[in-house]
Structure 1
């Protein structure tokens, strides 16, 4: 029908505009946050742009939910304000018949959100964490300065000095390293002609070549001297590269099904909920969009915001309850969706009746009382 094509067209253009504006604001805000973290050394400078990209991908599903809700609400409110909806109702057509064009617009977005939630986001989250950690480790290597005494590794009793450092190939010349053996308390002093950092096997190692190692206690004259061709000093043995098992958001969706882990169930509940949210909020926007052009009041905007906050915060609270093991999976998944469906049905009945005070209309919609 003509009205359906026109509605989908208007809503699509409105949604594109809303999505781009909100996305620009969020990206700008996150960019400032990332630059601040990079300045503090918590994020590698080279990773800022990539991490903003991964963060944007992660925010897209929720942004699509909000965009669909606002765009449908905006277009239908304009129909009420311009009396187009009054013409629609006076022609003998029901408000419920708007469900079809609304779903025509909302279902593709729900499918897009489902694909992103179930397949794209776990991959993007894992790549984001891996990328950030790798660049951070590489940035730590780039902080080596020649001609300066510095601590080797955090919380370490090793001090090193590098005479020359080739930043292109990462080779250090004429190294001095002093460390304290925690077991014996001896001082170890190492001289080497060449050294490099190795990041293989998820550990950071200083590889020294062609050197001498002195070990003993100062003032006792018991130092021993050992020559070596290669010596590996492990700086960090804790793997920092993210393992999918370590964080629920990086686990592939197929591994979440059937899991008894409350955290996995909470994550699955959230991934399944967002596509349903697109559909239900879009239908809820039909009765909420009611606007009386004579009164000029815009109370429906506050009602729309209230429903959105109630829906999203309710889902978040239920997800946290599932994660803590307080409630089972289905009890966390269903209540908010059922509540929104019930509210949509009741409000649709109210808007299909002649105008009445709110409480009278609500009573009539619930109990059929005139």
Structure 2
């Protein structure tokens, strides 16, 4: 039990550290994309952390299996390099017993990934979809930030306000620049620039919203040309567009697992098999990582790290390709994604028993050579 607790603790520390680094890398890229949408006025900055919180389980279900795989390679590789494994082997620790001890933390990680994949991730992504749909109902007036130029309508409109009341109903120092496009040929006809001292929101009976500007000017023309028009106005109304927030989430990702299981739809079944594949992935990569972590102190700690990562990528890539084939009906439903797990389980067992198999073959060759010599 002392050895088991020691291995469990060392593996858990490395798993946590590696998973944390991977999680930060994955979430940083996604958060930057959401920040860009918030800067364009597509998303409300106040919902960014909420969205990232709901997306966290989805990131974890992919990060934890890889974190465990790398954690085993790094932890046991260090122990081989520092001759700790040699001392354990001298006390009766075999590779099979090491795998048995390693499967305990792997089972814990697999249960956590199963909970995330089957229950938590679909509900979290459903909340993200709801938030994105709420963002679609916002107008550019709702996403304005005082003192900042914001591009809207795919960059064709730039809006600026120097002041904005707390209840977001009154503006001061308004500037709006919009590209004018011809309705007949779709070509740009120039710019329309509107400036005003003040502005307020007006909602029509049909639900459309207008920004009513007061005491300002409108300039129409082409940049660099003198044929422009200036209009002074006391009151001017601007229709507020509704920016679309890209949810980028498939509908299947938000469907509860029990509905996927009860459906005969191929896409639903492919999604169901994918969710089951992630916990199974944990056990297969554990069997694969234990023999790959064995290194010679003279070879260095990271000799087998790159081939191991490439093998993991091949496993995950094959799962993704098999999922696409299952969705399109090119793979029978009874095979599902099981054949991928069986294939790489066979590879893992081959790697695991390769050393014993090599020793058995060498002994067999020596015995056969001895028999031939004795016969001669």
- Alignment deviations for residues 91-124 of structure 1 (CA, whole Å, 9 cap, x no partner): 4542111122111111111111111111111110
2:8 is matched with: 8
Query: Normalization by structure 2: what TM-score?
Result: 0.67
- Equivalences for 1:179-194 in 2 at 5 Å? none
CA distance in 2, matches of 1:28, 1:317: 27
**Are residues 240 and 97 of structure 1, via their aligned partners in 2, closer, same or farther at CA, if it must alter by over 3 Å?**
same
Pair 1:276 & 2:283 matched: no
Using the TM superposition, give the Cα deviation of residue 57 of structure 1 relative to its aligned residue in structure 2, in angstroms: 2.4
1:39 is matched with: 39
1:342 is matched with: 346
Question: What SS does structure 1 have at the residue aligned with 2:207?
Answer: strand
1:160 is matched with: none
2:329 is matched with: 325
CA distance in 1, matches of 2:317, 2:36: 28
CA distance in 2, matches of 1:197, 1:256: 43
Using the TM superposition, give the Cα deviation of residue 58 of structure 1 relative to its aligned residue in structure 2, in angstroms: 1.4
Q: How large is the RMSD of aligned CA atoms in angstroms?
A: 3.7
- Equivalences for 1:17-36 in 2 at 5 Å? 17-36=17-36
Using the TM superposition, give the Cα deviation of residue 197 of structure 1 relative to its aligned residue in structure 2, in angstroms: 6.6
**Are residues 141 and 55 of structure 1, via their aligned partners in 2, closer, same or farther at CA, if it must alter by over 3 Å?**
same
1:135 is matched with: 135
Aligned length: 291
**Are residues 137 and 197 of structure 1, via their aligned partners in 2, closer, same or farther at CA, if it must alter by over 3 Å?**
farther
CA distance in 2, matches of 1:287, 1:69: 12
Pair 1:205 & 2:207 matched: yes
Using the TM superposition, give the Cα deviation of residue 32 of structure 1 relative to its aligned residue in structure 2, in angstroms: 1.8
- Alignment deviations for residues 104-158 of structure 1 (CA, whole Å, 9 cap, x no partner): 111111111111111111110010011122134235452699xxxxxxx98xxxx
Pair 1:79 & 2:79 matched: yes
Query: Normalization by structure 1: what TM-score?
Result: 0.68
**Are residues 301 and 355 of structure 1, via their aligned partners in 2, closer, same or farther at CA, if it must alter by over 3 Å?**
farther
CA distance in 2, matches of 1:53, 1:17: 20
CA distance in 2, matches of 1:43, 1:241: 9
CA distance in 2, matches of 1:68, 1:23: 13
CA distance in 1, matches of 2:108, 2:124: 22
Q: In the alignment, is the contact (CA less than 8 A) between 2:81 and 2:295 conserved in 1?
A: yes
CA distance in 1, matches of 2:41, 2:209: 25
Using the TM superposition, give the Cα deviation of residue 168 of structure 1 relative to its aligned residue in structure 2, in angstroms: 2.4
1:89 is matched with: 89
CA distance in 1, matches of 2:26, 2:245: 29
